[in-house]
Amino acid sequence: MGLVFHEFCHAIVADILGDDTPRIAGRLTLNPLRHLDPFGTIMMLLAGFGWAKPVPVNGNHLRNGPTIGMATVAAAGPISNFVMAALFALPVRYGLVQYLDPSLLSRYQFENYVALVCVDVVLINVLLGVFNLIPLAPLDGSRVAVALLPGELGRFFRQLEPYGMGILFLLFVVSTMTPLNILGMIINPVYAAIVEFLLI
């Protein structure tokens, strides 16, 4: 749900801003088959993380220009994840369903299962949103950083774009295979603050 809605929002914002590339590519839909990447989906099932197919966008067709336009399209993805997280947090936050720890499954009633699903949707979508805002290509945060940061700082992130995937891979390897969890240090404080704000 989170991945599909994320990519759909990229597509619809690009379409609104005047680029029909996503429409031509058949990406203005919530049909998962149009968005999910086969290998990314397999990785999601096997490794617990995955990805969808990037939405094709032509920045030169966007009404507010390629830099601001691409940043707007990019920002739509993480924003969609935060919106979805906020909507699914409402029933738990306002006591419409009761969340119980999964270790208490034997005591679960229907409302507890609903709450469990809601909390999982919140956690996954907040993680997707925060991760995608890391300012490294091909993540959405890279486009946002290039557009919003002034002068040399913006140019610095633009120059990093060709190396973004390699840097991300290195960060992932270091974070998972050594005690130095750099990605965790970047993501966890923001992730925890947003989850607490939404659910408590």
Annotated domain spans of the chain: 2-199
Q: What residues contact 178, with CB distance under 8 A and at least 6 apart?
A: none
Q: CB of 9 within 8 A of CB of 140?
A: no
3-state secondary structure of 18: coil
For each of the chain's 200 residues, which pLDDT tens digit applies? Answer: 899 999 999 999 999 999 999 999 999 999 999 999 999 888 888 777 788 999 999 999 999 999 999 999 999 999 999 999 999 999 999 999 999 998 898 999 999 999 999 999 999 999 999 999 999 999 999 999 999 998 888 889 899 999 999 999 999 999 989 999 999 999 999 999 999 999 99
Q: What residues contact 51, with CB distance under 8 A and at least 6 apart?
A: 3, 37, 40, 43, 44
Count the residues in the chain. 200
Q: Note the pTM of the prediction, 2 decimals.
A: 0.93
Q: Which tokens sit at 116? A: 């469990």
Q: Which residue has the tokens 């240090």?
A: 185
DSSP code, position 52:
B
Q: Specify the pLDDT at position 69.
A: 97
DSSP code, position 139:
S
- Cα gap 28→43, rounded to integer Å: 24
Active-site entry in 7, 111, 152, 161: 7
Q: Specify the pLDDT at position 121.
A: 97
Distances (CA, A) of 91 to 88, 110, 114, 117, 169: 7, 14, 9, 11, 37
Asked about 152 being catalytic, the answer comes back as no
